[in-house]
Structures are given as structure tokens and as C-alpha cells.
Chain A
Amino acid sequence: MRVISAAKVEEAVGSLFLKANTVIRPDIKRALKRAYAKETNKLAGELYRIILENAAIAKTKRLPICQDTGLPVVFVEAGEDVRIKGGGLEGVIQKAVIRSYKKYLFRASIVSDPLKRESRSGFGPAIIHLELKKGKRLKITVMPKGFGSENKTRMKMFNPTVRITEIENFIVECVKNAGSDACPPYIVGVGVGGTAEKANLLAKMALLRPVDKNSRKKHILKMEKKIYSMINHLRIGPMGLGGKTTCLGVNILTYPTHIAGLPVAVNIGCHATRSAAVTI
């Protein structure tokens, strides 16, 4: 049994949210630079320049990349041989999120009751996804998820006999539906298989994978490339101004599913898709 102190977890979660909210992901920065370099549409090009300058300002002045510092989502991969000392994992994470958001002046974007929507908003609670793994390690990944993009989430339960092209078209439709509303160029997270909630979770987790990496499964990689090109032909571009790049990457994750169905979920990530991870 390996013992990790609650204080260490708290410190890790706090700094991860600082990093995620103020430092652009290196894969996204690379992708934006590539998009900027090949852009011939003047307005779109100017937008890329501003987006990259925004990232530089955020980093040096420790300002959030985006004012929507999101609904804090935390993915935990906990080794079965790890024990947290000095507090329960859930409590420690929740405390760390609130402290970090307060300390670093992130936005209180959470209403405690979704229907009453009490006017005083708060920093949490975070959504925590826990996965048990073999071993002694604790991996924590944080994602402050903005809701402009979260609002564009879609899912569909396909028939198991569906043609792949129908799934591809559905994913492209989701991006078309998002249009310029959710801060393109997008990262398109797709979850295929499992149950309804599993597909949605996979779609969100797919946003964590670097945009310049593709699936290792050949048939999935082929789909990713095809959808990527179809989406970029939509010519939505940054802010909807047109241009060559509407998405920076299409990331698909799959999971075994039932003989009777084929869930497909799409979670849109904006150009300010933020995440950071650490293994303790």
C-alpha cells in the first residue's frame, strides 16, 4: 500500500487548475500556429494572431485564457494500492478546486440549483470521474470545461447496422450545428460505444488527447482523418469568419458495446480547450 497525503493531492489539483486556465496546451498552440501560417483569409488570419497573443498575455499576466473558467471537471485514475491519508479523495479535490478558483481569481460560474439558479454563483462542486487502475500511482487530469462549447454536445443511439458514413455525417452535422457559436476552430471529441453515459464520457475524455495525435486503431484513424477533412471543408473558421481551418483535430475514443446498439456522442472543444495532468 502506498500512502499519499491529502495535502499533496490538494496542492496538485490547485496548481493543475492554475496551469490549465492560464497556459494554452502546447498541442493546441502548435495547431493554431499551423492554422495561422496557412491562412489566406485576412480577417481569419488576424484572429489567429489575436488568439496567440491572448495566450501570451494569459501566461505572462496569469490571466485566464478565457473568462469562462468552466465547470471544473477532474479525472482521477487511482491505483488500487494507493491510500490517501488525511482526508477523503472527493473532499480533498472539492476543497482544492474552490481554493484554487478563489485564489487565482477564476470565475464563479456554478449555480447550485440548476432550476432555481440562485443568483449567488460558486466555484464548485467539480465533476469527478474516478477510474480504478492496477498499481500504486495516482493520475489527476483537470479540465475546466467552458459551456459555450459544452452546450453544443449531441448524442445519438444508432442502429448496430448503421453505415459508417452515417456516423461520419452525424459528427460533421454536430459541428455545423455549433457553427460559429462555440469559439472555433474546434477540437471534436467523439465517444463511440458503451452505454449512453459512457459514450458521453468518452467524448469528453477524447478532448484530452493532443490534437496532433490520432487513434492507434487503423479503422478509427481513417475515420478521424476523413471527418477532419470534411469539417474543414465547412469553412466556418475562427469566429465564423471563414478560412481554411474549422477544426484542429478529431479525436475518437471507442468502447465495446451491446449487440443491439451503437451510441455515438460528440463533445465540442473550443480553441481554448484547457486541460492539465500530473501523475503522483
Chain B
Amino acid sequence: MKNALKICTPLDTDVIKKLKAGQFVFISGTIYTARDQAHLRLAGLIKSGKKLPLVLKNQIIYYTGPTPAGKGRPVGSCGPTTSSRMDEFTPSLLDAGVKVLIGKGRRSQEVVRSLKKNKGVYLMAPAGCGAYLSERVKKAKLLTFGDLGPEAIYKLEVENFPAVVAIDSRGRKITA
């Protein structure tokens, strides 16, 4: 994609503020996976003021549950899952310091408001393209919640991971 913006983690606030809805980006660096059950647990820990198994400040959360890694691969297919199921937990994660969310589909008004308030962005990764995205993952490490199987939190090192800015830090949206 021409005109795509290359961004590297950790993302500082200036870079995040520059991202505009509709922009195509390539991310390189560290991202963390978390989906339904991991969100339920993280939000619970945040609420009760307990220690979190990872530092959320300035991090990128990717909603995915990969297939197991084959020989010589860090991870199997790893496309995004539907973001709206995470909506009820997202504001508390953003308040805890998460800056970027990656998934697919629409978000609630609360999430849009929270992104604006916390100067965060929501990106969409190519949906239903798990094999393609797997090629952009260079390393994967199980971080925590291993009992959740594919829903555990993994630390991924990605290179030129493609995504589209769907909601920017001013709350502007690309999708209806």
C-alpha cells in the first residue's frame, strides 16, 4: 500500500495523535494478544486494584486467539476477532494506560469516548486473513493466563503488521 505509515513500538503520544482515521499503517515492535476471557480477568484485576501480570501503560492490545504454531513458525494463523465483544472492558484498559487496540468491526460509543479521553486509537487488522498476518509475526511468547489456551496473553514481536486506523484519538471514525 502506497502512502502507508510505518510506526514502531513503543508509540509515543505524538505519533498516536498524528494517526488519522482511514490511514493505513505498518506496525513493528511488541504487541500483546488478549481476547474475551483475558479481558474479563484483566478488568477484574484492575477493578479490585490487584497487581496485573503485564504493564499496560503505552501498550498495544491485539484481539486474537492464534492457532498453534507449526514447525519453524512462532505462531499459527492469527487474524483479529470481533472487537465489540471487548467493548465493556475496553474503557478500563484504556484508563489503565493501553494506547492502541487492534481488532475488527465496530466499537461502542463508550469506547470512542474513552479513546478520545485517553488519546488512544483503534485499528483494524485485515479481517479473516490469519495466514497472511501470521507471516508478519516474528516471535511469540506465552506471557500469562496459559490455562486459557488460545485465549491466553501472548507477547508478539511483529514486523510491518498491517492495519487501518478505524477510530483516531479525536474520536473520528472510518466505519459506520
**Bound form: Cα–Cα A68–B126 in Å:** 14
Q: Is residue B119 contacting chain A, with contact meaning CB distance below 8 A?
A: no
Chain B residue numbers with a CB within 8 Å of A61 are 70, 131
Q: Which residue of B lies closest to A45 (CB)?
A: B1
Q: Is residue A79 contacting chain B, with contact meaning CB distance below 8 A?
A: no
Pair B147/A120 contact, Cβ less than 8 Å: yes
Chain A residue numbers with a CB within 8 Å of B147 are 119-120
Q: Is residue B22 contacting chain A, with contact meaning CB distance below 8 A?
A: yes
Pair A47/B126 contact, Cβ less than 8 Å: yes
Residue from A65, A67, A117 in contact with B66 in the complex, judged by beta carbons closer than 8 Å:
A67
**Stretch from B11-19, B50-58, B75-83, B89-97 that touches the partner:** B75-83
Q: Which residue of B lies closest to A272 (CB)?
A: B128
Interface size class of A (residues with CB under 8 A): 35 or more
Chain B residue numbers with a CB within 8 Å of A66 are 77, 79, 128-130
Pair A119/B132 contact, Cβ less than 8 Å: no
CB distance from A217 to the nearest CB of B (A): 31
Residue from A50, A108, A148, A183 in contact with B150 in the complex, judged by beta carbons closer than 8 Å:
A108
- Which residues of chain A from 42 to 59 have any CB-CB distance to chain B below 8 Å in the complex? 43, 46-47, 50-51, 53-55, 57-58
Pair B24/A43 contact, Cβ less than 8 Å: yes
Residue from A43, A63, A105 in contact with B130 in the complex, judged by beta carbons closer than 8 Å:
A63
Chain A residue numbers with a CB within 8 Å of B130 are 54, 63-68
Q: Which residue of B lies closest to A51 (CB)?
A: B129
**Bound form: Cα–Cα A53–B148 in Å:** 31
Chain B residue numbers with a CB within 8 Å of A67 are 64-67, 76-79, 130, 150
Q: State the main secondary structure of chain A at its contact with B.
A: loop
Pair A57/B131 contact, Cβ less than 8 Å: yes
**Bound form: Cα–Cα A11–B147 in Å:** 31
Q: Which residue of B lies closest to A238 (CB)?
A: B127
Pair A64/B67 contact, Cβ less than 8 Å: yes
Known contacts A54-B126, A54-B130, A58-B131, A64 near B77 by CB under 8 Å: yes
Q: State the main secondary structure of chain B at its contact with A.
A: loop
- B side interface size, CB within 8 A: 43
Chain A residue numbers with a CB within 8 Å of B143 are none
Chain B residue numbers with a CB within 8 Å of A46 are 1, 24
Residue from A105, A182, A271 in contact with B67 in the complex, judged by beta carbons closer than 8 Å:
A105
Chain A residue numbers with a CB within 8 Å of B104 are 148, 180-181, 183, 239
Q: Is residue A240 contacting chain B, with contact meaning CB distance below 8 A?
A: yes
Pair B76/A64 contact, Cβ less than 8 Å: yes
Chain A residue numbers with a CB within 8 Å of B79 are 66-68
**Bound form: Cα–Cα A151–B36 in Å:** 14
Known contacts A109-B65, A180-B106, A241-B164, A270 near B128 by CB under 8 Å: yes
Residue from A117, A151, A241 in contact with B175 in the complex, judged by beta carbons closer than 8 Å:
A241
Q: Is residue A107 contacting chain B, with contact meaning CB distance below 8 A?
A: yes
CB distance from B131 to the nearest CB of A (A): 4
Q: Which 5 A-B pairs have the closest CB atoms?
A: A181-B105, A240-B175, A54-B132, A54-B129, A67-B77
Task: Give me 8 other A-B pairs in contact (C-beta within 8 A), A51-B129, A183-B128 excluded.
Answer: A43-B164, A55-B131, A107-B77, A109-B150, A180-B106, A180-B176, A183-B127, A271-B128
- 10 pairs from A and B in contact (CB 8 Å cutoff): A43-B164, A50-B129, A54-B126, A55-B131, A66-B77, A68-B79, A109-B150, A148-B105, A182-B105, A240-B175
